[in-house]
Amino acid sequence: MSRGEKRPGGIYDAARARLEERIAAEPSNSEIGLELGMLALVAGDLATAEAAIRRVSDMEPDDPRAHVRLADIHVEQGRFDEASREYARAVELAEGTDIGEAARLELELVEREIEMVHRPLAEARADERCDPNRLGCLELLAGSIERAGEAFRHALDEDAESLQAALNFGLVQGLAYVEPSGLKRSVGELLAASRRFPAEPRLHLHLAELYEASSLYEASTQQVSEALDAAPSCLEAYDIAARYDLLETEAEKPSFLEEKIEGIVASLEAELAADAGDALRKKALALALLGRARFRSAAGAGASGLPHRPAPEGDDVLRACGLLEEVLDHDEEAAIRLAECRERSDRKADAKAFLKRAAEEHPASHGPVFELGGLELRSGYPEEAIGLFAKAAELAPTEATVFQSLRYALSTARSLRLAELAAKVELSHDPESAGPRVRLGVAYTEAHRLDAAVETLEEAVKIAPESAEARAALGRVFTRLNRSDEAEASLRSAVEIAPEWPEARRRLGDLLLSLPGRTREGLAELETYRRLKAEGGKR
């Protein structure tokens, strides 16, 4: 259970009462106070936690554990400067020990977040003249989704003709859980923005997400279709189209969106055939081919061999690559998309070189730097991604997507480093424990270090073959690696071990939906998942 997650009130209250009775009986026993402080911290009762730990710190001012726990509480309270001081004191007191190493790591993470997130946010909140788009981006970076939404709505109220405000508002609505009472207004504002900016596909995609949240799938599909009409080169539209394609129940029949995508490619093919030297048409066809490749990959169609899907994904990527090379000269978007082609062809070094060159040729644009950060993140290097996303944020200080990616990279790096440290400490005490390996494997997966995740999780399965959690986590990694047979075997084992665990059913259902001819099986697993969730099923 993570810090701040609420325990059932009755259980926590009873445990707290027992510890308080023990403290009353043994007031000089600091260990009981530390136990109470940790219990209250995990339960989210920060007032009790702080009082208990401060009492321990007063009794034992040189106990580094008290300083670490007090710093943890300050982090939860948003008091990062105070947290930094407490972690620094713990490092000083426990240099060279596991506690000292953990405190040093926490100190580094807190200081970085102070510099990158909390200090700029405090300054923006205090500045009455601050651009509400800028304020919203910083609120988003700090994880304050509701505050970010308020700022972006304010930006839209101030300037209804601001495309950036409309896009930022749409993005944050997709991130937040929109209450039914506010959904109608959000949809109305995005519909109005889409009429003001008919050529902007991303507004239609934000609308699609809001309709999907209301289970209005036909309306969602129509918005994706309109996004493709507005901009056939919008690759994000192809990604979302793939998600809706999985809702089709007839595997042998192309979906509405699939037919539309095939029509786009065919139309652009014909236009280029009529004027083979037109650079803009070459680029448009290249992007449509790359979009179709994304669609087929995400929808599991690339290897299906169905007759209505005439070309495998790889052919589209190769053709797009050739066309983009012909129009590459000083074209920023062409360079970015050519890098994507190289990455999809497992040539990440080439992809990185293209993006670095584009960043040098377009130093005032955030696009190449932002895409390079994404490449580093997908390659398993969140620390490098953080620096690149931060640079992109400097170049585009009101672009919410950049700040959301920076927030994700910060979270990923923090989770990975803490998981590695926690696993090291736990395994030093219990080398044959599966739990730390599972948690570390999940962290590696989130950080896109898939080979390390496989190795770590296979060790966990070997140690604890009856662990459904380990097998499900391993199945998830195999799915990410397109090792479908191994993924299915791992996920089915998890389901057999824990048939009432909803998450295993969901992962198996998602996998089966992506495999040719397995749609009905996948839908059956997802139906079981929904039933178990409704019943409160658990392992």
> Residue ranges per domain, the chain?
9-119, 430-535
Instruction: Give me the half-sphere count of Cα atoms (radius 13 Å) on the Cβ side of residue 499.
Output: 1
| Percent of residues in the chain assigned helix, strand, coil, to nearest 5 | 75, 0, 25
Q: Which helix (H) or strand (E) holds 58?
A: helix 46-59
| The two domains 9-119 and 430-535 share their CATH topology (first three levels equal) | yes
Report helix, strand or coil for 216.
coil
Largest Cα separation within the chain, whole Å, is 91
44/16 Cα distance (integer angstroms)? 13
- pLDDT, residue 313, reads 55
* pLDDT (tens digit per residue) in 420-478: 877 887 787 788 889 889 999 998 998 888 999 999 999 999 999 999 999 999 999 99
Give the burial class of 41: count Cβ atoms within 10 A of its Cβ; 0-12 exposed, 13-18 middle, 19 or more buried. buried
Instruction: Give me the half-sphere count of Cα atoms (radius 13 Å) on the Cβ side of residue 402.
Output: 26
- pLDDT, residue 253, reads 57
492/498 Cα distance (integer angstroms)? 10
Encoding tokens for residue 38?
Answer: 């940790």
* pLDDT (tens digit per residue) in 322-352: 999 998 887 889 999 999 988 888 889 999 9
- pLDDT, residue 250, reads 45
> Domain 9-119 maps to which CATH number in 1.25.40.10, 3.40.630.30, 3.10.580.10, 1.10.3720.10?
1.25.40.10
Encoding tokens for residue 26?
Answer: 């043994």
Encoding tokens for residue 216?
Answer: 């209005």
Torsion, Cα of 219, 224, 229, 231 (10° steps): 150
Cα–Cα separations (whole angstroms), residue 400 to 17, 137, 164: 46, 5, 9
- pLDDT, residue 310, reads 40
198/192 Cα distance (integer angstroms)? 10
Instruction: Write the class of the CATH domain 430-535.
Output: mainly alpha
246/351 Cα distance (integer angstroms)? 30
Q: What is the pTM of this model?
A: 0.80
Report helix, strand or coil for 330.
coil
- pLDDT, residue 418, reads 79
- Cβ atoms of residues 412 and 447 within 8 Å: yes
Q: Which residue numbers in the chain have pLDDT < 50?
A: 1-8, 249-252, 301-312, 539
261/254 Cα distance (integer angstroms)? 11
Report helix, strand or coil for 526.
helix
Q: Which residues of 420-430 are buried (b: 16+ CB within 10 A; e: fewer)?
A: bbebeebeeee
CA 145 centroid distance within chain:
14
Cα–Cα separations (whole angstroms), residue 321 to 1, 146, 349, 359: 47, 41, 15, 19
Encoding tokens for residue 119?
Answer: 């200090």
- pLDDT, residue 255, reads 79
DSSP string, 467-515: -HHHHHHHHHHHHHTT-HHHHHHHHHHHHHH-TT-HHHHHHHHHHHHTS
Torsion, Cα of 270, 271, 276, 280 (10° steps): -140
161/326 Cα distance (integer angstroms)? 37
